[in-house]
Structure 1
C-alpha cells in the first residue's frame, strides 16, 4: 500500500518513489485509458489497442505532473485527486483527438428532448436523466448529453444581458468578463455565488501553486473561501498577488476570466457577502443540486454498511475515493481498498443499486410523483436482468 512518506519522496524527485506511485495508480490508469480508447474506437478493431496504449501513456504523464501540485497530507486524498486528474486529462485528450468536432447528433437531441418533460423543463436535469433513464442503446454518454443540452439551449451572445427583468440591471456577459481597468467610482456588474464557485474551480485547475510558503497559504485560504461562493476584496487582492497567469493562450484566458468574475463579485458586495439580490439562475440550480445531494446521502445512510460503502466508492459520493463503475470501474482497486473480494463487490453493488433506487424513488414521490414514476420505470428496466428481478 502506498505510504505518505513515499508520496513525499516522489515529490522530491526520488525516482524509486515516483515509480512506486506510478505502479499504485496503474490499475486506474489502465481502466480509464481503455474507456477513453473505446470512445475513439467503439467497435474495436486495430486502432483500439493503439488508442489504449496512447491514452495509458497520457494518464501516466498526468500522474507524474500532478505529483508536484498535490498539497494535502494523506494518501486517500492523493488518490482522490489523482483519479479525478487522470479522468479529466483523458477526457481532454479524447476531445483533442477528435479535433474539437464532437457535437450533438440528431438522435442525441431527440433523446434529450424526451427527457425535458420528465425534468420539468430544466435542461440541466434533462442532461442527467438522458444518461440513466433511456433503455440501453438509447442512453446518452455524458459527452453526448452535454452536447445535446448545448445544442438545445443554443449559443448565448456575449452581449446578452444577465438579467431577464431589466436590461440594465447586471450588464452583459462581456461586461462581467471584462479585464479592462476602470475608475474606482464605477460599479462593476454583480455576479452570483454560483459564478464565484465556478471561478474558484477554474483557478484551482489552471493556476500553478505558488512556490513561496506564505503566498501559497494565502492563495489556498482565498480559494477555499471562494469555493463556498463567498469572497472579500482582501481575498481577491491576495489572489491577484499569488496567481501566476499561464503562458498558454487558452489557459491564460480561463484564468483572466475567472479573476474578472471574482473582482466583479466584490465590487458590489459589502465585505464580500453575496446577498439575495446577487443570486442568479446558476445559484438556483446549485441550491437544487444541494437538495438532491442531501436526499442521496439520507438514502445511503439508511442502507447497510457494505452496500453503502461500495456505492459511495463506485460513484465518489460525498468525497469518497471514486473507483468508477461499469466499464470505467477499477474493480481490483475498490476490492483492495474495501477489503472485499471482487465477487463480493459486484454483489453488493448490484443489490445496493436496487435498494437505493427503491428508497430514492419513495422520497421523490412525496413531491414529484410524475418524476418518481419515470424513475421507477427506468430502475425496473436498467437494474434487472432484461427486466427480470
Structure 2
C-alpha cells in the first residue's frame, strides 16, 4: 500500500532490492495509471481510440519511473511522489506530442499557423491553404500539411490536464507558433516591387479559391467549377444566362439537384471566402451583406 512506503524502502529500490521495488510499485501504480490514462484521453480527443494508447502509455510510465528512480535524492516520501509525478508526466507529454505531430516540423507548423489565421480558425481549410496559398518554396506537401494540422489540433490541450480529475496545471503556457520573421513573399520588404505585390495577390486569390473548392463537397465544388470554368474546364454559366441542363448532365445529376448544388455551393463558398480574405470585422460584414444581396436576388440560381 502507498501508506507503507518509506525512504528506506525507496533507497532499497534504488539498489534493486526486491522489498523496496515491490513497495515503490505498489505506491506508484495508481499514479502512473492516472497519468497514462490522461495521456490516452488526450489522444482520443484527436480522433484516435482511447484503448489504442492506454496500455502503451502505461508501459512508458513504468519505464520512466524505473529510469528516474536512481536520480531521486530528496528527503521525504512526498518529495519522491512529486518528483516521480513530474518526471512521468513530462515523459508522457513527449509521447503524446510525438504521436500527434506525425512528423510535423517547425517550419510546417509556422506555415500552417499563418494559414489558420487566413482560414479564420478552420483547421481543415487551413490544411488546404497551406498547400497552395504560400509562395513557392513555402507551400507544404499534402503529408506535411496534414501533419501540421494534426499537431495543431493537439497543441491546445497538450500541456493541460485532460479533465479536472487530472489535477491542476501550473506549468508553462502553450507558446504561439506564429513567428513573423519575413513578409508573406519570403523576401525583405524593401526588395518587393508593386508588380510583385499585384502578381502575388492574384496568385494568392486563385490559390484561395481552389483551396476553398477543394474543401467543399464534391457536387457543390464541381457545380461552381463548371459554372465559371475554373481550372480551364467547360463553362456553363450561372443564372438565367447559364446552361443548367448542360451543367446537370456534366455533373451526372437531375436538373433540380444540380441547381441546388450550385445555389448551396455559392453560399458555402461565399462564407468561406469572406473568412479568408476579410481583413477586419467591418470588411467581413460589408462582404457578407453584399453576398447576401447578390445571392438573394436569384442571380446565382
TM-score class normalised by the smaller sequence? 0.3 to 0.5
Greater helix percent: which structure?
2
Calculate the TM-score normalised by the size of structure 2: 0.36
Calculate the TM-score normalised by the size of structure 1: 0.29
